[in-house]
Structure 1
């Protein structure tokens, strides 16, 4: 029996009520103070506190890949995919103590604007278009693709209709109220997501007979975060070397993730918000991966591991509760998509429209342009998503992570050297952004489509490929910078002011998180 055939009318009524509540919250947040609309659209008038920032960053990250792909990879390999959640604390810390103070000290709205002050308008222009393409592919289209799979499972409707429904709901928040509406609704959505997903995990553990049974009836390697060097899925060397490339890009330089920190009331709130995100990331394993492991015990003959999460929901929860889970899943989709649409709108409006075409633009002009770009980006994302849907035979989790792995190296190199090494030149950065991107994405196309790794065993793991590309681009950056003989080198106009230092209380909070994460890694590598 198909998953959608197990759902009742009550379940769909619950979904409808939830959507109305969601729209109501978004409407209230968007229009309760119209005088601040110009500021709220992009950075929420720099009014976000640490809780909103933490939930927004986590909510942006908790997309369909966490709900479908994470349960799927838990079903097939155990908790090794937890590295993509727990290893992240290092790079969230890097954002809080290195990047965020400089971003906020420079008083920028976008990361291309920041790099423009560091390297000039040419870098800003290249990076703006790079960011737009990245958001369109890695956030909008891939998220819509995974979301379309989920909605297909729930409703049994075609992919194109699933995608259109998702994009319409998401566009409402971005067009109407920008980051302020997203932040308000994310708090509501993420709290509900925690409660429902926790209920699923607890119910599953109870049904199989407790934690002892859970451990006894799964292979011992299911509980190791680091697998042997010859493991075909995620060998420890690939994770140790490859994930940091992705982590720096994703957590420290990606507009969609950093946007909420830029909207903080002050640097203290931004740093606390980042720390809160680190604590929330601990929940990813028990909430999203563990249900897949439980499903492996309860339903070992599942034909499609991508159905693990919804199989657990429809077979274990009563009528009505299943509808609530459906609503929460839709909320997670909306959370990621609307944040991405807002980032896309912000970058185009501030870094291309205002900077290049209309420097004298008023707040009204910026808002109108941002809303038009949001609508156009949504339409374009639909077509890209349908194109991705035509590709068959790829594991959803690996597709997500490998694409991010091939996008990451140029951005990680440019931002790390741009912030940490004063001798980095505009010429070097621009070449890396153009040549490095073509090289990295070109290798990705060969790896995924032309000579797919599934049928060609000469490829190293995609995380190791990401690391090798990063090393090559880093060496090129050093060589190009040291051999740059340009007479008119751009002089950085960045002015951070006095960079704030973490207060003692903040250091204690970070120290506690670091100790907990080290403890988790020791505990889950004892087998």
Structure 2
């Protein structure tokens, strides 16, 4: 039985009420008085303490797409996908002790600005385009893909119609002033989603009879983080070598992830906030992956593992509660889509249109271009989403990770060498950001669409491909930099982050404890089978 066949009229009534309330809050938010300066935590420069930083980073990382995708991979392979949450602590630590001191010391607001100081204006301009590509693919199209799958499950519509319906819902909220409401209520929605996932996991665990029966009713390999070399899904070597490429890009160089650290009161708060994120990431496995494992036990005949999360919701929650979960998922997805469209429009109008083409543009012209870019971005994202939907042989989680795996290598290379190696030249960085990006995305297009791995079995694992691209691009950057250095054409760096302060005792202690906890978790989850 399809999910939409199990839904009751009351579920749709609850969805309608929830969305109407959001629109009402939107109107109220639109007409209420302007808030005092500094009232908004995220606009008050350099005022964030460690709790805000940790919760913001984790909240940005954890969303409806994560819930649906994590349950899907939990259903098919168990906790191996926990590596994408738990292995991250190394790269969050890298952000805390290597990147954050340099970002904060350089007193920059954005990472393109940081790289502009390191390699020059051309690199900053190139990074603006790179940012547009990553927003379009990783934040917009992948979110629309997950949302399309959700709408498919709820209404039984084809993907193209589901995605268009999602965009119409987003546009409707914009027109009604409701998106301001979604931004207003986003923290509440995320807390609700996390509570729902916790209740889902506990309810499912009770239904199967507790932890011992859960372990007994699943294959032993479901509880291993490292799987054998011949494993078709996630061999340990692919995770060990491939995830770091993605980890450096996502946790250390992505503006949306690093932004809260850039807004820290001081370096110590930023480092403690990153540490808090590392602790919160431990929750990803029990909250998001375990419901998928429980679904495997309770509903073993599920045709599509991407339906695991909503299958659990519709079968374990009462009528009305299911509608509330659907409403919160839809609203949070719409919020992410709106944020991505807004970021896309902002980067293009400010960093490209005004800076490069029309410095004298009036406010009216900037707004008009911003609206055109928003519409164009939405249309382009629909086509990219439908292209992603045509990928065969991968579930939702694998699609996410494979697409991100082909975006990550150029940025990881340029930031790692730019920060850690003084001889890295501007020309080398620009070559990697332009031709390296073309090579990386081109390889991804070949792997996912032109010569898909499902049909042509000669491809290595997509995480290994990401690693090979990283090694190749690193070699090119080093080679070009040496040539430039011999010619006396290194980088004209104006980057100055001062004398790096020592890491405080408290930061060292808390990171030390987290490292020990993570090592223990890896030992516990590798002794099965």
Q: Deviations over 1:274-322 (max 9, x none)?
A: 3332222212111111111111111111111111111111111111111
Asked whether the equivalents of residues 43 and 109 of structure 1 are also in contact (C-alpha less than 8 Å), the reply is no
Distance in 1 (alpha carbons) for counterparts of 2:103 and 2:172: 29
Distance in 2 (alpha carbons) for counterparts of 1:386 and 1:256: 25
Structure 1 residues 429 and 40, CA gap change in structure 2 (3 angstroms)? farther
Structure 1 residues 408 and 318, CA gap change in structure 2 (3 angstroms)? same
CA positional deviation for 1:83: 0.5
CA positional deviation for 1:524: 0.6
- The residue number in structure 1 matching 2:494 is 493
Structure 1 residues 106 and 165, CA gap change in structure 2 (3 angstroms)? farther
- The residue number in structure 2 matching 1:59 is 59
CA positional deviation for 1:497: 4.1
Q: Deviations over 1:147-173 (max 9, x none)?
A: 101111013344344334544565789
Instruction: Say yes or no: does 1:313 pair with 2:307.
Output: no
Report the aligned-residue RMSD. 3.3
Q: How do residues 449-488 of structure 1 correspond to structure 2 at under 5 angstroms?
A: 449-484=449-484, 485-486=486-487
Distance in 1 (alpha carbons) for counterparts of 2:172 and 2:44: 16
Distance in 2 (alpha carbons) for counterparts of 1:142 and 1:174: 21
Judge which range, 53-62 or 289-298, deviates more: 53-62
CA positional deviation for 1:394: 3.8
Q: How do residues 98-177 of structure 1 correspond to structure 2 at under 5 angstroms?
A: 98-167=98-167
1:506 aligned counterpart, secondary structure: helix
Aligned pairs, how many? 527
Q: Deviations over 1:343-382 (max 9, x none)?
A: 3244324422343245567889877765664454334323
1:303 aligned counterpart, secondary structure: coil
Distance in 2 (alpha carbons) for counterparts of 1:210 and 1:18: 34
Distance in 2 (alpha carbons) for counterparts of 1:421 and 1:89: 23
Asked whether the equivalents of residues 345 and 374 of structure 1 are also in contact (C-alpha less than 8 Å), the reply is yes
Distance in 1 (alpha carbons) for counterparts of 2:175 and 2:110: 18
Q: How do residues 227-376 of structure 1 correspond to structure 2 at under 5 angstroms?
A: 227-359=227-359, 373-376=373-376
CA positional deviation for 1:114: 1.6
Asked whether the equivalents of residues 23 and 181 of structure 2 are also in contact (C-alpha less than 8 Å), the reply is no
CA positional deviation for 1:210: 1.0
1:483 aligned counterpart, secondary structure: helix
CA positional deviation for 1:203: 0.5
Q: Deviations over 1:187-237 (max 9, x none)?
A: 212211111000001100101111110000111110000011111110111
Distance in 2 (alpha carbons) for counterparts of 1:334 and 1:170: 5
Distance in 2 (alpha carbons) for counterparts of 1:53 and 1:193: 20
Structure 1 residues 380 and 451, CA gap change in structure 2 (3 angstroms)? closer
CA positional deviation for 1:100: 2.6
Asked whether the equivalents of residues 104 and 267 of structure 1 are also in contact (C-alpha less than 8 Å), the reply is yes
Structure 1 residues 459 and 158, CA gap change in structure 2 (3 angstroms)? closer
Distance in 2 (alpha carbons) for counterparts of 1:174 and 1:504: 48
- The residue number in structure 2 matching 1:517 is 518
CA positional deviation for 1:247: 0.4
Structure 1 residues 215 and 306, CA gap change in structure 2 (3 angstroms)? same
Q: Deviations over 1:428-457 (max 9, x none)?
A: 111111221122222222222222222222
Structure 1 residues 301 and 103, CA gap change in structure 2 (3 angstroms)? same
Judge which range, 509-518 or 432-441, deviates more: 509-518
Structure 1 residues 7 and 277, CA gap change in structure 2 (3 angstroms)? same
Asked whether the equivalents of residues 183 and 335 of structure 2 are also in contact (C-alpha less than 8 Å), the reply is no
CA positional deviation for 1:136: 0.2
Judge which range, 31-40 or 262-271, deviates more: 31-40
Judge which range, 499-508 or 425-434, deviates more: 499-508
**Which ranges in structure 1 are unaligned for 5 or more consecutive residues?**
none
Distance in 1 (alpha carbons) for counterparts of 2:372 and 2:107: 26
Distance in 2 (alpha carbons) for counterparts of 1:526 and 1:315: 33
**Which ranges in structure 2 are unaligned for 5 or more consecutive residues?**
none
Asked whether the equivalents of residues 75 and 305 of structure 1 are also in contact (C-alpha less than 8 Å), the reply is yes
- The residue number in structure 1 matching 2:412 is 412
Distance in 1 (alpha carbons) for counterparts of 2:107 and 2:362: 19
- The residue number in structure 2 matching 1:15 is 15
- The residue number in structure 2 matching 1:196 is 196
Distance in 2 (alpha carbons) for counterparts of 1:38 and 1:146: 35
Asked whether the equivalents of residues 55 and 190 of structure 1 are also in contact (C-alpha less than 8 Å), the reply is no
1:401 aligned counterpart, secondary structure: helix
Normalising by the residue count of structure 1, what TM-score does the alignment of the two structures yield?
0.89
